[in-house]
Amino acid sequence: MNDADRSPAGNLRPIQEIGKLLGLSPDEIHPHGRHMGKVSLTALDRLKHRPQARYVLVTAINPTPLGEGKTTTSIGLTMGLCRLGHRAIVTLREPSLGPVFGIKGGGTGGGRAQVVPMEQINLHFTGDAHAVSAAHNLLSAFVDNHVFHGNERHIDPERISWPRTSGISDRALRELMLGTGIQGQKGQFVISEASEVMAILALATGRDDLRHRLGRVIVGLTKDGKPVTSGDLNCVGSMAALLNDALLPNVVQTLEGTPAFVHTGPFGNIAHGNCSVLSDAIALRCADYVVTEAGFGSELGAEKFFNIKCRVSGHKPSAAVVVATLRALKLHGTGEGIKSGQPLPSSLTGPNMQALEKGFANLEQHIANVKRYGVPVVVAVNAFSDDSHAELEWVRERAKSAGATDAAVSTHWSDGGKGAEALAHAVIAAASQPSSFSHLYELTWPIKKKIETIAMAMYGAGAVSYDPSAERQIGVVGDLGYGQLPICMAKTPLSLSHDPSLKGRPTGFTLPIKELRLLAGAEFLTAVCSGIQLMPGLPKKPAGERIDVDGKTGTIVGLT
């Protein structure tokens, strides 16, 4: 059955009913059709005296290129909590058109663990991503226009750092010449989910904070090395106007009619990988449990959740879930490659205890990573229909001996919330334990010390090397007074290291940093590892080849 077939519109609750479940008043829900809506920021002030929910993070081991069901687990866990009589809300990032038409397909979950309506959410949704692209590219146009009309701010054309953005994966846009003739300048595009504007939207705590952050965006330097900001170019008001509605969190529902917030979409490998601070802030006042997902593994999205997002929001997690699958653990034990569109080898889908035992080391690192922050860990073993029961139980028991508070086999994809009840019980118990949450590093540490702490503690690296350009950029950032910002690492999600071919739990490798980007508006520094691209490309057989529209009914087909 196609995922779209599991979410017929006739079975969905009107969005006003979802608002009632959240305790929101009718004027705090701005409907976008019957089944989607935005939540007014006035709700946050009205609800501020309510007790806060338990805050549960869902992360994962290093996945196969096909993903290990972190989104379905987040949704299934939330539905399972609701089945046990608790008020629970899942908060997710918005899907990106890049993966939707590229390798992974849609980002709304799957099977019986979805947020719906999946077609609208996966495509244009409420227009937030388009607003981000428009605001970002408006600033690009302002920069070029300023230089063209006399350049009163004395921007050095060779030191313009503000790229352009596009929502579609397109490798041809990674490097290009802007303009023609002798006026031509080198330029580049980043995907919208890597845009600083997307990061700002995700981290903003309100309209005033949004404007403050937009005004701090650095677009380039003058010839004498002084920063030029969007505020200097008088572009902030227009950018804020384009983002005015996009700032409001989106509310939808799961297949079981429970509330879900889906808002903002920074990638986990090249951006900070978490949904908006505002969606979590509202959800935490409307529920007993809020389950939020961070992109990719604990060394990427979860590390950024703990060290970037939690610093901004002030919220402290009560527990964390690490998602694992037998096939991914076996991949880390065999080192085999997987290509999109090709069947998985039998060594990953069939019984293979030797590979499973060897690959378990990857899960051990991720359990240790989360425990490093003082947060109780539950392992969710996401079960596929052909998985060996004995192997599933082996992972569950082994995870507890490796330091997890508990572990549960979950069948939410096939069974919905019922299949996640055991996981929900484990999470409730873990979240009731005392938590001693702390950050991995201090903001006052030197830039290199922060990078090296992440690399060695989270990845297992033995050392960090810096390209000459990265060395220069670190110096410039320090001279400009931005050295006390947190670090956002950009690296492959397919390995604990920077090298996707290094499976399992590699140690002692040297992590190469090729670039350091200053995102003064988002208020973090992006350290780019060798081999990572801020503009992805499409695979040989893009998922978009399967997508079409039924000519008679207008139904979108092939979107999974």
Contacting residues for 148 by C-beta, under 8 A, at least 6 apart: none
Report the C-alpha gap between 215 and 207 in whole angstroms. 12
Residue 10 reports pLDDT greater than 60: no
- pLDDT computed for residue 25 by the predictor: 96
Q: What is the dihedral sign for C-alpha 480, 483, 485, 488?
A: positive
Inter-residue contact 559 to 4 (CB < 8 Å): yes
When pLDDT is averaged across residues 499-506 and rounded to a whole number, the result is 95
Average the pLDDT over 486-507 and give the result. Answer: 96
Where are the strands (E) in 146-288, listed by range?
Answer: 155-160, 164-166, 176-178, 185-187, 189-191, 218-222, 227-229, 250-254, 259-262
CA distances from 65 to 81, 153, 298, 343 (A): 29, 46, 16, 12
pLDDT band at 102, cuts 50/70/90? confident
DSSP string, 248-274: SPEEEEETTS-EEEE-----TTTS--B
What residues pair up with 402 in beta bridges, in sequence order?
A: none
Alpha helices (H) in 372-503, listed in sequence order: 389-401, 412-415, 421-431, 447-454, 468-480
**323 in Cβ contact with 302 (< 8 Å):** no
> What's the average model confidence in pLDDT over 415-442?
96
**Distances 545 to 536, 549, 557 between C-alpha atoms, Å:** 17, 12, 11
- Residue 358: the pLDDT is 97
- The phi, psi pair for 194, rounded to 5°, reads -100, 0
- For residue 303, the surrounding DSSP H or E stretch is helix 303-304
pLDDT-based confidence at 341, cuts 50/70/90? low
Nearby residues of 462 by Cβ (< 8 Å), 6 or more positions away: 456, 507, 508, 509, 510
pLDDT in tens, 218-258: 999 999 999 999 999 999 999 999 999 999 999 999 999 99
Q: What is the mean pLDDT of residues 209-220?
A: 98
**Nearest CA among 323, 317, 286, 280 for reference residue 420:** 323
Structure tokens at 456: 């060695």
Strands 189-191, 406-410: pairing kind? unpaired
End-to-end CA distance of the chain: 10
pLDDT digits (tens, 9 = 90+) for 271-283: 999 999 999 999 9
User: Residue 238: helix, strand or coil by DSSP?
Assistant: helix
The string of pLDDT tens digits covering residues 390-404 is 999 999 999 999 999
Q: Are 272 and 34 in contact (CB under 8 A)?
A: no
Q: How far is CA 239 from CA 167, 264, 277, in A?
A: 17, 16, 19
Positions of E strands within 13-122: 29-31, 37-39, 54-60, 88-92, 109-110, 113-116
Determine how many CB atoms are found less than 10 A away from the CB of residue 232.
Answer: 17
Q: Is residue 161 very low, low, confident or very high in pLDDT (cuts 50, 70, 90)?
A: very high
Look at residue 513 and give its three-state secondary structure: strand
The H-or-E segment that residue 2 falls in is none
Per-residue confidence (pLDDT) for residue 295, from 0 to 100: 93
Q: What phi, psi does 126 have (nearest 5°)?
A: -100, 10
Q: Give the pLDDT mean for 196-208.
A: 98
Q: Which two tokens stand for residue 66?
A: 């096909």
- Dihedral pair phi/psi, residue 456, rounded to 5°: -85, -40
**What pLDDT digit, counting tens, does each position of 33-68 carry?**
999 999 999 999 999 999 999 999 999 999 988 788
For residues 321 and 489, what is the distance between their CA atoms, to the nearest angstrom? 21
Residue 279: name the closest of 26, 436, 34, 53 by CA. 53
> Is residue 3 over pLDDT 60?
no
Retrieve residue 386's tokens.
């052909």
Find out whether 335 and 503 touch, Cβ atoms under 8 Å: yes
Quickly tell me which residue has 């350009």 as its tokens. Answer: 469
Give, in order, the Cα–Cα distances in Å from 105 to each of 131, 253, 295, 360. 22, 20, 15, 28
Q: Compute and round to an integer the Cα radius of gyration of the chain.
A: 23
Confirm if 201 and 193 have CB atoms less than 8 A apart: no
